[in-house]
Amino acid sequence: MPIQIRKVLTADDTDVLNGTDLENIPGPGILLIGAASTQNDTLMSITGRGFEVPFRQQALALRTNGQLTEDDDPISVVTPQGGKVIVDINIVTAATVVVEAMFIPAE
């Protein structure tokens, strides 16, 4: 069964998944991560063990309300084998950021 989380941030967060149901990935599967910001200089990095890092310090999509647009905003796809995945949000200029993540376990 998929696990989904959604967080709204107004300050830097070096571990967005901390304290959520995705704090520790339960096993192999696919982790989808999307984020948008009300400023164009907000950056996101994704790191972890057992998969290729999709990007470091990638600028987030600019959205007036900070909400993701499914058809227009890129989704990062990570294939962890389990354990810790770190999503780091760096808000350079004061902003509201929405981060959504969904883990789909391997069958």
Digits of tens for pLDDT over the chain (107 positions)? 999 999 999 999 999 999 999 999 999 999 999 999 999 999 999 988 766 676 788 888 888 877 777 767 778 888 888 889 999 999 999 999 999 999 999 97
Q: Tell me the whole-structure pTM to 2 decimals.
A: 0.89
| CATH number of the domain bearing residue 13 | 2.60.120
Q: How many domains does the chain have?
A: 1
| Unique residue bearing structure tokens 């389990």 | 82
pLDDT given at position 94: 95
Instruction: To the nearest 10°, report the CA torsion of 52, 57, 59, 60.
Output: 60
Task: Identify the helix (H) or strand (E) that includes residue 99.
Answer: strand 97-105
Q: Residue 59 is part of which domain span?
A: 3-105
CA dist 74 and 83 (Å) reads 24
